Chain A
Amino acid sequence: MTNNSRLLSRRRFVGNFAVASAAIAIGPGSWVIRPDWANAAEGPIRIGIATDLTGSLGFAGNTDANVARMIVKGINDSGGLLGRPIELLIEDTASDESVAVGNVRKLIQRDKVDLVLGGISSSMRNAIKDVIISRGKTLYIYPEGYEGKECTPYLFCTGPVPAQNCDQFIPWLIKNGGKRFALPGSNYVWPQTINAYARKVIESGGGEVVFEEYYPLDQIDFSSTVSRVISNKVDVVFNTIVPPGVSPFFKQLYQAGFSKNGGRLGCVYYDENFLEMNQADEIEGLASSLDYYKTLTAEDRVSAKIQSAYDRQFPAKFRFSAGSAATGTYRGLKLWEAAVKEAGTVDRDAVAAALDHAKIAEGPGGPAEMAPGKRHCRMNMYIGVAKGGQYEIVARSAGLVDPKEC
C-alpha cells in the first residue's frame, strides 16, 4: 500500500464530493456507519444490508442488521479488509417489496456497494435480486433458510435448505415419534417445496404421509385439521404452518390431547423467538431442526464467543437466533470476507469465484463452507427439543451437512 496521504487523489475527491452532494440532496440519508479511519488509498469497501427493519419481519431484520454491525466493527477494529475500512450501509426493505426495490436501488446506484446481503422472505429475495444482480451487477448473499432451488449466478445462499432441514431430522422423528406423518402447511412456496422433499425422506424411511394440506396465511382456526390429525391417529405432525396461524394451531392440537397421547410435533423453523408464542406446556416436546441454538453456547466455545459478543453490543430487544437469519448473515459476511482476502480485490467476478469454495473455521454452530459450484452453504445441523420453554439439544450432525442444491 503506497503512502497517499499527501496526495488528494482525484478519485477520492470525486468520491467525497459525490457523497457530500448526495447528503445535501437527500438529507441525513440512510444508516451509514463510516469507519473513523478513512484514509485508505482507494476509499472504503462498501457493504449494503437490505433487510426488513420495519413491518412484520422487523424482528428478524433488525437482528441481521445488528449482526452485520457487529461483524463490520470487528473487521474494522482489526485493520479492515485488504487494508481498507468497511463502510456499512443499511436500508429498510420494510417487509414490502415495492418499497424494497426503491431502497435497494439506492444501495446500488447511489452508494455503489460492493456487496448486498439481505432479504428474509422468498418474495423479498425475488423482488430485489434482479435489481442487485442483473441491473446492478453486484454480488448478492441471501442469508435466510428457504426452500432451495435458487440457482441464479452471483446469488449465494447461506441459510439452511430442505435437505439440511430434513435429512437427519425425519429419521429422528420416525424413531422418536412414529411412522404416520401429517404435513399441514401454510399456502406458499416454502412449505410446499419442503414438504415435497420431506415426503421422499419419510417414505424412504418407512413412514407414510397420512395427509398434506395447505391453509391461507391468516387462517387462525384449525379445528378441522386437528380433528383429522386425531382421528387418523397421526404420530408426527411435521408442521410448516407459519405465524400467525402456527400459534393457535399448536394450542388447538394440545387441547385436543395430541402430545398427551404420545404425538410428536416437528417444526423446522421454530427458533427461540417463536418459543414465546405459545405457553410452555403447549409445545412441550416440540422438535425443531436448526443450524444453531442458544444452548450450544454451553458446549461450543466459538458459539459462546459470538453469542456473548452480540448480547454485549445489542442487549435486550433483538435475539441472535437461527430463524431470523442471524446465523446466515454471520456466515455470509465471514465467507465473503474470506473470499475477498483470497481474491485480493472486490471485483465481482473474482470474489464470486473465490466465494464459490470459501470456508470459515469459526461460526455460530460450527464451521461452514460453500459447496463448490452450488452457491449454497454446508453447515452443522442440530435437533432441539423444547423442554419447559427452553431448547435441549438431542442430536448433532456428524459433520457439515450438504445442501444438495443446484
Chain B
Amino acid sequence: MDTLVVALFEILSFGAIVVLVVLGLGIIASMMGIFNFAQGEFVLLGAYITYVVHSIGLPVALGMLAAPVAVGALGFVLEKLVVRRFYSAPIVAMLGTYALGLIIREVVRGLTGGLYLSVPEPIGGSITIGTLHFATWRCVIVVVTVLVMAASYALIAYTSFGLQIRASLENPSLARASGISTGRIYSVTFAFGAALAGLAGALIVPVFSLFADLGIRFLIQGFVAVMVGGVGSFAGPVAGASLIGTLSAALPWLMSPVVADVLVFVLAIVFIKFRPQGLVSGRGV
C-alpha cells in the first residue's frame, strides 16, 4: 500500500513536469499551427538563467522568477524577427525554430563548458506523512503546475484578452476583420508559450541538473503529447501531456524501462492513427 502511494505521487509529479513543459508547446501549436522545435531549448534557457542567478550568489527562487520573464521576452523578440514570416509555411517555421534551437543549445553548451551543473532547491527536505516521505520540491512543482494551469485557463476563458485569443484561434480572418490585431496576439502567445517553458526549466533544474542536451529529451515527448491530446484547444495539450507523462513514469514500474520507453511512443502513434483528432477535439478552449 505504501509503495502504491509513493508510486502514485512520483507518477503524478513527473506528469506535472511534462505538463508544464508541454503546455507552452501546445499553446503555440494550437494557436499558430507551428510546432516549435526550440521549445526544449527554451526550457534549457530557463534552467540556465536559474543557474546563473544562483552562481552569482542570489537566491535560487529569484532566478526562478526571472527565468520565465527573460525567456518570455526572448520568445517575443524571436517571434517578431523570425517566426512571424512563416505563418503561411508552417513547415519552414518548424525548421527555422530548429535552427534557433540549435544555436541556443550550442551557446549554452559553450557557456557551461559541457559539464553537468547542479542547482539546489529553494525549499528542500521532505514532507512526512506517516511513514512516507514526499520530496517537498516535487510537491511544490505539482502545486505550481496546477496554479499555472488554472491561471492560464482563467486568463483565456474569463478575460477580454482571452476572448481575443480565442477569437484569433477559431477564425483568424474574422478576428482581424473585427479589429483584433492578430499579429500582436500571436507575439504575445508565442512569448507566453516560451515563458511557460522557461518556468518549467527553472522549476525542474534542481531535480535534473543542468546540461546542454536537457531540451532534446522533452522535444519528442512534447510533440507526441500534443498530438495525443489534440491540437487546437487549451485542454488538449494538457490532457495529452498528463497522459504521456504519467504513462512514461508508470510503465517502468511494470516492465523493463528500455521497453517501456519505446512502448509509450508506439502506443501514442497507434492511438493517434485511430483517433486523429486526439483526446480533446475541437478548437477553442
Q: Check A58/B109 contact, CB under 8 A, given A216-B258, A277-B118.
A: yes
Across the interface, do B208 and A255 meet the contact criterion of CB distance under 8 Å?
no
Of B3, B6, B109, B257, most buried by chain A (CB within 10 Å of CB) is B257
Q: Does B170 reach chain A (CB closer than 8 Å)? A: no
Known A216-B261, A255-B135; contact A247-B209, beta-carbon cutoff 8 A: yes
Residue of B nearest to A214 (CB): B258
Q: Are A213 and B208 in contact (CB under 8 A)?
A: no
Stretch at the interface among B77-85, B87-95, B212-220, B226-234: B212-220
The answer to whether the Cβ of B184 comes within 8 Å of any Cβ in the partner chain is no
- Whether A302 sits at the interface, judged by CB under 8 Å, is no
Residue A300 lies at the interface, judged by CB distance under 8 Å to chain B: no
The reply to whether A279 and B213 contact each other, CB–CB distance below 8 Å, is: no
A57 to B252, CA, bound (A): 28
Q: Does the CB pair B109–A223 fall under 8 Å?
A: no
Which B205-245 residues have C-beta < 8 A from chain A? 207-209, 211-214, 216-217
A54, B249: Cα distance in complex, Å = 32
Residue among B6, B120, B209 facing the most chain A CB atoms (10 A cut-off):
B209
Residues in B109-128 with C-beta less than 8 Å from chain A: 109, 113-118, 120, 126
Q: Which of A233-266 contact B (CB under 8 A)?
A: 243-244, 247-248, 251-252, 255-257
Q: Are A223 and B249 in contact (CB under 8 A)?
A: yes
- Chain B residue with minimal CB distance to A220? B208
Bound complex: CA of A326 vs CA of B186, how far in Å? Answer: 51
Min distance, Cβ B283 to any Cβ of chain A, angstroms: 33
Instruction: Let me know if A59 is at the binding interface, CB within 8 A.
Output: yes
Q: Would B118 and A219 count as touching, CB distance under 8 A?
A: no
B102 at the interface (CB under 8 A from A): no
Q: Is the pair A274, B258 in contact by a Cβ cutoff of 8 Å?
A: no
Q: Which residues of B contact A247 (CB under 8 A)?
A: 116, 118, 208-209
A11–B180 Cα gap in the complex (Å)? 78
Beta-carbon nearest neighbor of B18 in chain A: A221
- Is A215 at the interface (CB under 8 A from chain B)? yes
Interface size on B, residues (CB 8 A): 34
Residue of B nearest to A273 (CB): B115
Kindly list chain A residues whose C-beta atoms are within 8 Å of the C-beta of B11. Answer: 223
State which of B133, B209, B252, B261 has its C-beta within 8 Å of the C-beta of A244: B209
A275 (CB) vs chain B CBs: closest residue: B118
With both beta carbons as reference points, the residue of chain A lying nearest to B136 in the complex is identified as: A255
Using CB atoms, name the residue of chain A closest to B115: A59
- Candidate in B6, B109, B115, B256 with the most chain A CB atoms within 10 angstroms: B115
Complex CA gap A213/B252 in Å reads 11
Smallest beta-carbon distance B33→chain A, Å: 28
Task: State the main secondary structure of chain A at its contact with B.
Answer: loop
CB neighbours (8 Å) of A187 from chain B are: 257-258
A56 within 8 A of B: yes
Interface: A204 (CB within 8 A): no
Partner of A223, one of B10, B115, B133: B10
- B126 near A255: Cβ-Cβ < 8 Å: yes
| B residues less than 8 Å from A57 (CB atoms) | 114
| Cβ B116 vs Cβ A274 within 8 A | yes
Q: Is the CB of A221 within 8 A of B10?
A: yes
Say whether B37 faces chain A, with CB atoms less than 8 Å apart. Answer: no
**A347: interface (CB < 8 Å):** no
Q: Which of these, B3, B109, B115, B208, contacts A276 with CB under 8 Å?
A: B115
Provide the residues of chain A in CB contact with B211, threshold 8 Å. Answer: 56, 243-244
Q: How far apart are the CA atoms of A277 and B117 in the complex, in Å?
A: 5
A231 touches B3 (CB 8 A): yes
In the complex, what residues of A have CB within 8 A of residue B207's CB? 220, 248, 251
Closest to A184 in B: B257
Q: How far is the CA of A56 from the CA of B207 in the complex (A)?
A: 20
Tell whether B7 is near chain A: CB-to-CB under 8 Å: yes
Q: Are B14 and A223 in contact (CB under 8 A)?
A: yes
Contacts of A214 in B (CB 8 A): 256-258
Q: Shortest Cβ distance from B139 into chain A, in angstroms? A: 12
- B253 interface residue per 8 A CB criterion: yes
Tell me the smallest distance from the CB of A278 to a CB of chain B, in Å: 6
Taking A223-B14, A244-B211 as contacts, is the C-beta distance between A276 and B258 under 8 angstroms?
no
Q: Fill in one digit per residue for B117-160: 1 if any A CB lies within 8 Å of its CB, else 0.
A: 11010000010000001010000000000000000000000000
**B14 with A276: CB separation less than 8 A:** no
CB distance from A205 to the nearest CB of B (A): 28
Q: What's the nearest-Cβ distance from chain B to residue A187, in Å?
A: 5
Smallest Cβ distance from B116 to chain A, in angstroms? 5
Q: B259-285: which have CB < 8 Å to A?
A: 261
Q: Chain B contacts of A349 at CB under 8 A?
A: none
Answer whether A255 and B253 are a contact pair too, CB < 8 Å, given A216-B261, A243-B211, A277-B118: no
Contact with B along A307-319 (1 / 0, CB 8 A): 0000000000110
The answer to whether B258 touches A218 (Cβ under 8 A) is no
Report the minimal beta-carbon distance from B236 to chain A, rounded to whole angstroms.
24
The verdict on A344 contacting chain B, using a C-beta distance below 8 Å, is no
Q: Does A55 contact B (CB under 8 A)?
A: yes
Chain A residues contacting B126 (CB-CB under 8 Å) are: 255
Bound Cα distance from A54 to B113, whole angstroms: 9
A220 x B212 contact (CB < 8 A): no
**A223-B249, A224-B257, A255-B135 given. 12 additional CB < 8 A pairs?**
A54-B109, A55-B109, A56-B211, A58-B114, A214-B256, A219-B252, A220-B207, A220-B208, A224-B252, A225-B252, A276-B118, A317-B113
Return the 10 tightest CB-CB contacts between A and B, nearest first.
A223-B10, A58-B114, A247-B209, A224-B253, A59-B114, A215-B257, A277-B116, A216-B261, A255-B135, A218-B217
Residues in A lying within 8 Å of B, measured CB to CB? 54-59, 187, 213-216, 218-221, 223-225, 227, 231, 243-244, 247-248, 251-252, 255-257, 273-274, 276-279, 317-318
18 contacts across the A-B interface (CB closer than 8 A): A56-B114, A56-B213, A57-B114, A58-B113, A213-B257, A215-B257, A216-B261, A218-B216, A220-B207, A220-B217, A223-B249, A224-B10, A224-B252, A224-B257, A231-B3, A247-B118, A317-B113, A318-B113
